[in-house]
A and B are shown apart, each in its own frame.
Chain A
Amino acid sequence: AQSVTQPDIHITVSEGASLELRCNYSYGATPYLFWYVQSPGQGLQLLLKYFSGDTLVQGIKGFEAEFKRSQSSFNLRKPSVHWSDAAEYFCAALGVTGGGNKLTFGTGTQLKVEL
């Protein structure tokens, strides 16, 4: 079955520290990959996406993600976290064929930023 796993439910970092959020996927063929952010009570905002090409993808708000086929991973990173980055982060995958119309989401990682 297709699945996306985010191993960390909660992460706390100090403002200014670096951040890495983990995401692993299990798909028959390498899917398209996404990171979304959700602020409390709000919808989802797309941070970045990977379809093909350069495995290091740049997104909005200073985020980047690296696709590693050998590890089936698509980890999200930010060099220096700001207090406003506190939110929930979701990794998602989209099948290249067949189920290519629905996103499969991980369970999310709640990010807390300490001032």
Chain B
Amino acid sequence: DTGVSQDPRHKITKRGQNVTFRCDPISEHNRLYWYRQTLGQGPEFLTYFQNEAQLEKSRLLSDRFSAERPKGSFSTLEIQRTEQGDSAMYLCASSKGQPNSGNTIYFGEGSWLTVV
């Protein structure tokens, strides 16, 4: 298996600009997750998809954030009108099925966002 792939790995943007991150999960993994990790903290859940359906969103996901997984394969996370508080690492993960049925969640290497 190739692992979970994220692009870009690093992004520096000016406040107010829009940014988009892409995630390619492990092949045949039907569940895809987005997490956010700020310095000195553990990752925090943002949202997850089962195939193309977005089934859960955290309250952390404000109106400026939108995630899609149009064909049930790769996913994008867009942040509109970025703010300095959005600076973080955005982690994508995937699993073959329901994690509480024993399926491991595999993480990508993350996309670092710095808003200046």
Contact = CB atoms under 8 A, between A and B. Distances in A.
Interface of A: 4, 32, 36, 41-46, 49, 51, 90, 92, 94-97, 100-108
B50 to A, nearest CB: 8
Interface magnitude class on chain B: 20 to 34
A108 B45 contact: no
A51 B103 CA distance: 11
Given A101-B31, A101-B56, A43 B109 contact: yes
Nearest to B10: A41
Interface stretch (B11-19, B36-44, B61-69, B70-78): B36-44
Contacts of B110: 41-43
B85 interface: no
Contacts of A104: 45
Interface of B: 4, 31, 33, 35, 40-45, 48, 55-56, 58, 91, 93, 98-100, 102, 104-110, 112
Given A43-B108, A90-B42, A32 B91 contact: no
8 contacts: A32-B99, A41-B112, A43-B108, A44-B43, A51-B102, A101-B55, A102-B33, A108-B41
Max chain A C-beta neighbours (<10 A), residue from B44, B98, B99, B109: B99
